[in-house]
Each structure stands twice: as structure tokens, then as C-alpha cells.
Amino acid sequence: MNQIALPLAWPEDERGEFLVADSNVQAVRLLEHWATWPVRTAILAGPPRSGRSLLGRIFAARSGATVIDDAQAVDETGLFHAWNQAQGDRRPLLLIVAALPPQWSVELPDLRSRLAASPVAQIGPPEDQLISILYERGFARRHLDARADLIAWLTARTERSHAAVIDTIDRLDRAALAGRRRLTIPLARETLESGTTSNRSDRLP
């Protein structure tokens, strides 16, 4: 599949967007077709800052679902009752977690069996196309003039991680402001070589 990254807009009374790409289209489709779930509860897993919470809020606004974010940190008895209530009310319940079982260690056997029956979807690491668009939109939101050559240079060197993209934007924003400099490849190279980086390689040619 060569999915083009497109914004999944909020309903008219909400704000924001979620960019749909190969790495997250499975999750989007699962939520779009919630009426076909075998049970009323589904699990959405994704790394930090991947847009998982935003996607959950969009889903809640569109479907009237209950969403429990960071479900792995919630009392298991409470999750067990929420799962059962969703079945009784026929109202969708979405549990958002950082990782699926067994990485998410569930101790309560009754909850574990219910989660095993729930459909799951994951947001994977962003592909280069999505990383490029995240850079483009991230810089634009901060009113920073990032040229196409800089975005291509950063995309080729950034770890496949939503958090790495956001961290790089933060660092370049601070560097440009502190030095009153325009965003350029030399500034990016200088900034990312100083201290710990989230790049694909220790060398930034």
C-alpha cells in the first residue's frame, strides 16, 4: 500500500487533525468500523506522541465512545467493570495503551481473558513520508520558515519516531531563536551534533 498522508479532521465543533499514513491506517480503519467489532471494546496501542490520544478523542467525538487513555496505568478492576459495562450498554469503549500484552502485563485473569477477545490495532513507527509532513506542519505551526531541502535533510537522518521529530523541532526552534538565525542545514547540523541526538546515525554529513 502507498497510503498518502491525509488529515483526518475533527467534527465541525472540534479542532485538530490526525494524519493518516501506512503506519496508522490499520488503527484508523478499526475505529471507523467499530460497529463490526466482535465485542464493544477495542485496544489501540502506540508509542508516546504518536497521535494515539488525538485519534481517541476524534473517535469519541464521532461515535460517542468512552475512551480510557493510558489504560495500562488504570486500576485493573476498574477496567474490568468498564469492559463489562460497554457490552451491557452497547456503547464502544477504547482502551489506549503504550503496548499490547504481554508487554502490558495484566494480572487480573478475568480482565486478561476479556482483553484477549478485544480487537486491537497499533500505530507503528512513522515512515519517511509521514516524518516529512510532520516536520513541515510542525515548523509551520511555529511560524518557522523551513525550506524543502532542510526537511529532506532532517527526514533522512531522524529516527523513525514521532517523539524524535517533535524533539528535533523543539531543539531547532530554540536554536534559531537563541541565535536569531534562519533555519538552515548548517544550523540543524550544528544543533543536532551538540549533545544527545535522536538521529539514525552518529554522523550528520
pLDDT tens figures, 32-51 = 999 999 999 999 999 989 99
pLDDT tens digits for range 71-92: 999 999 999 999 999 999 999 9
Number of domains making up the chain? 2
Query: Do 112 and 138 belong to one domain?
Result: no
pLDDT tens digits for range 8-23: 554 444 445 788 999 9
Which residues have C-beta within 8 Å of that of residue 65, sequence separation ≥ 6? 34, 59, 91, 92, 93, 94
Mean pLDDT across 156-179:
94
Query: Do 30 and 106 belong to one domain?
Result: yes
User: Is residue 201 included in any domain, yes or no?
Assistant: no
Confidence (pLDDT) at 46: 95
User: Is residue 187 included in any domain, yes or no?
Assistant: yes
Predicted structure pTM score: 0.83
| Local structure of residue 196 (DSSP, 8 states) | -
Round the average pLDDT of the chain to a whole number and report it: 88
What 3-state DSSP class applies to 67? strand
Quickly list H helices, the chain: 25-32, 52-63, 76-89, 109-116, 128-141, 148-157, 162-179, 185-193
Query: Do 51 and 147 belong to one domain?
Result: no
Query: Do 116 and 46 belong to one domain?
Result: yes
Residue 197's pLDDT band, with cuts at 50, 70 and 90, is very low
State the CB neighbour count (10 A cutoff) for residue 197: 19
Q: Is 124 exposed, middle or buried (0-12, 13-18, 19+ CB in 10 A)?
A: middle
Confidence (pLDDT) at 198: 44
Dihedral of CA 141/123/65/85: which sign? negative
Confidence (pLDDT) at 195: 54
pLDDT tens digits for range 119-149: 999 999 999 999 999 999 999 999 999 999 9
Mean pLDDT across 62-69:
95
Cα–Cα dist 80/106, whole Å: 11
